[in-house]
Copies of this chain bind each other. A is one copy, B any other.
Amino acid sequence: ADIAAGKAKAAVCAACHGGNGISIIPDYPNLAGQKVKYLESSIKAYRDGERKNPIMSPMAAGLSDADVANIAAYFASLPAGG
A interface residues (Cβ-Cβ under 8 A, vs B): 23, 26-30, 32-38, 41, 51, 79-82
Tell me which residues across on chain B come within 8 A of A26, comparing CB atoms.
Answer: 35-38
Q: For the complex, would chain A's binding face be called helix, strand, loop or mixed by DSSP majority?
A: loop
Contact status of A27 and B33, CB under 8 A, knowing A80-B80, A80-B81? no
Contact status of A35 and B29, CB under 8 A, knowing A80-B80, A81-B79, A81-B81? yes
State the 7 A-B residue pairs at the shortest beta-carbon distance, nearest first.
A80-B81, A80-B80, A26-B37, A29-B38, A27-B37, A26-B35, A81-B81
Q: With A and B bound together, what is the CA distance between A23 and B36 in angstroms?
A: 12
Q: How far is the CB of A49 from chain B (nearest CB, A)?
A: 13
